[in-house]
Amino acid sequence: MQKVFFILTALLAILLSGCTLSSQLSVPQQITHNKHTYELVAQQDLGPMARFFYLEKGESLSHWKSAVELLLDRNQAKTTLDERIALRERVYRNTGVKNFKLQAQDDSLYAFVIYEPTVKNNDWQVDVAKGKTVQGCGFVQYQYSLKIPRTKKIRNMSNKKVVRYLKKYVVEKEMKHVKNRDWQWTCE
């Protein structure tokens, strides 16, 4: 889990630079994803970037199964989608993340990342995201994350097979939800 947050923080630090804008993302207190309700449990505004983290009731920042995250890059550097993709690819490769795909389509950035278990985080984790520029706001990314426990079935599979399984049964399904989601984000 700490590795995932480190990678996300490193990625955002590289992507974000410049002065802040006065724009503030209008974020709801609750978000529904796949008929599950997620409540805002943490937010962080670091000037050029802001994060909003949502969990289901009963889950905590240190122990959760699925989450929704909104990221706002106020984009003072005017980073293009292609530049974002190149930066993220470099960060993932430099931090040892092997299983990811980033693509620009219809003025949006679509991405998935599969994190393998580590000593500190025993679960697999899949992140699926859509990001796009919101007028007067910056670049906004909606991300759904799901932890997959290392069940007996998964422990008996090679990592390569687990990745194929997760792409087929998690990434494809969740990417459809993310692509079809109404894009409701605006700035105040």
Compute how many other C-beta atoms are within 10 angstroms of the C-beta atom of residue 83.
Answer: 12
- Total tally of structural domains belonging to the chain: 1
Residue 129 lies in a domain: yes
| Residue 6: pLDDT over 90 | no
pTM listed for this prediction:
0.86
Which sign, positive or negative, has the C-alpha torsion 157, 162, 168, 174?
A: positive
Q: What is the mean pLDDT of residues 37-45?
A: 97
CATH for 170: 3.40.1000
Domain for residue 185, yes or no?
no
User: What DSSP character marks residue 73?
Assistant: E
Adjacency order of strands within the sheet including 66-73:
30-33, 36-45, 49-55, 66-73, 138-148, 124-134, 108-115, 99-105
Domain with 123 in it: 2-180
Q: Is residue 188 part of a domain?
A: no
